[in-house]
């Protein structure tokens, strides 16, 4: 018995095909967002769902994608740099998505059984297997059940011979204040002064909050503009892993069930958009 009240055997997993569960552990985002990722995966990605409903994707992954600048410069200086890059680009199976904070996993399945099912799918398809963004079992954003499941999954990965690599630090702001003034009162004098200076410029900015599925977000022209803003950010990035498609953004912005709120703000003629998905 695992922490979820039951165990599904590996034989059962391999014998039947199950769609994505409506509730996945570790998922801070609406399940519809994961479904849109699977329906419209990033360029060059092949989205998959395991027999137990575990989302993932296959892609040709460059092992140099996240190396430090010095190593990358050394590789690029080699006479056969192109060949080296080709050799170090492997067909890889990732479990998880690139649009969720953590690795979403099905409930009701013990960590060892889950890992073995992932390994079984990998052995038939790819050179490298990655479990993307397993949460830290101390994450304040997860429930007690999810933290237990994360610890069990990490232990199962260790026992199966996985190499654990630390990910990026999680940044979040607890909304435990009644208003802006209460929040500012907790900051240093210098930080309060800096934020108040920025807030005084708010009168020069137009702010608009929309809702996914609203009439405005059904405009082809607006969707094209929003996607172009995303591409601007993508082009400026030093690391290119996933390039989300216009079809993905269109599906997300038109989906009322996500309860997403794209917030746009304008200063002069330059719009900048941010999207927040509220559960």
Alpha-helical segments (H) within the chain: 10-15, 31-39, 69-76, 81-87, 111-123, 144-159, 180-185, 189-200, 220-236, 246-253
Q: Do residue 153 and residue 18 come from a single domain? A: yes
Phi and psi (nearest 5°) for 215? -60, -40
In a domain, 2, yes or no: no
Q: What is the pLDDT of residue 16?
A: 44
Neighbours of 59 (CB within 10 A): 23
Q: Do residue 30 and residue 121 come from a single domain? A: yes
Q: Do residue 133 and residue 190 come from a single domain? A: no
Q: Do residue 127 and residue 263 come from a single domain? A: no
Q: How far is CA 227 from CA 2, 26, 127, in A?
A: 43, 28, 33
Q: Do residue 36 and residue 87 come from a single domain? A: yes
Q: What is the pLDDT of residue 34?
A: 93
Neighbours of 259 (CB within 10 A): 14
**Domain C-terminal end among 130, 159, 188:** 159
In a domain, 3, yes or no: no
Q: What is the pLDDT of residue 19?
A: 58
The angle subtended at Cα 120 by Cα 57 and Cα 240, nearest 5°, is 25
In a domain, 236, yes or no: yes
Q: Do residue 51 and residue 62 come from a single domain? A: yes
Q: What is the pLDDT of residue 177?
A: 92
In terms of residue numbers, what domain contains 81?
10-159
Q: Do residue 65 and residue 119 come from a single domain? A: yes
Q: Do residue 23 and residue 141 come from a single domain? A: yes
How is 175-197 classified by DSSP, letter by letter?
Answer: ---SSHHHHHHTS-HHHHHHHHH
For the entire predicted model, the pTM comes to 0.83
Q: What is the pLDDT of residue 92?
A: 95
Alpha-helical segments (H) within 169-268: 180-185, 189-200, 220-236, 246-253
Q: Do residue 213 and residue 184 come from a single domain? A: no
Give the C-alpha separation, 154 to 239, whole Å.
Answer: 27
Q: Do residue 137 and residue 29 come from a single domain? A: yes
Q: What is the pLDDT of residue 170?
A: 80
Number of domains in the chain: 3
Q: Do residue 64 and residue 121 come from a single domain? A: yes
Q: Tell me which residue of 117, 152, 116, 104 sits closest to 3, measured CA to CA.
A: 152
Query: Which residues does the chain have with pLDDT short of 50?
Result: 1-18, 275-279
Q: Do residue 192 and residue 225 come from a single domain? A: no
Q: What is the pLDDT of residue 169?
A: 79
């Amino acid at each position: 018995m695992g922490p979820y009240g039951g165990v599904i055997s590996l034989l059962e997993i391999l014998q039947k095909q199950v769609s994505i569960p409506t509730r996945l552990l570790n998922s801070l985002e609406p399940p519809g967002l994961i479904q849109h990722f699977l329906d419209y995966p990033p360029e060059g990605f092949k989205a998959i769902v395991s027999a137990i409903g575990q989302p993932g994707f296959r892609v040709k992954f460059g092992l140099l994608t996240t190396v430090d600048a010095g190593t990358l410069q050394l590789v690029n200086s080699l006479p056969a740099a192109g060949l080296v890059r080709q050799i170090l680009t492997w067909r890889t199976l990732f479990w998880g998505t690139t649009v969720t904070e953590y690795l979403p996993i099905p409930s009701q399945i013990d960590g060892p059984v889950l890992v073995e099912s992932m390994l079984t799918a990998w052995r038939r398809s790819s050179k490298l297997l990655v479990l993307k963004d397993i949460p830290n079992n101390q994450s304040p954003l997860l429930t007690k059940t999810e933290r237990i499941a994360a610890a069990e999954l990490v232990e199962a990965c260790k026992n199966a011979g996985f190499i654990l690599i630390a990910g990026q630090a999680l940044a979040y702001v607890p909304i435990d204040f009644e208003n802006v003034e209460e929040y500012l009162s907790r900051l240093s004098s210098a930080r309060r002064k800096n934020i108040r200076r920025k807030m005084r410029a708010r009168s020069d900015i137009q702010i608009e909050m929309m809702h996914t599925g609203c009439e405005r977000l059904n405009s082809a022209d607006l969707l094209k503009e929003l996607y172009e803003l995303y591409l601007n950010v993508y082009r400026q990035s030093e690391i290119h892993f996933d390039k989300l498609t216009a079809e993905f953004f269109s599906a997300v912005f038109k989906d009322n069930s996500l309860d997403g709120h794209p917030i746009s703000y304008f200063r002069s003629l330059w719009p900048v958009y941010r999207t927040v998905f509220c559960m």
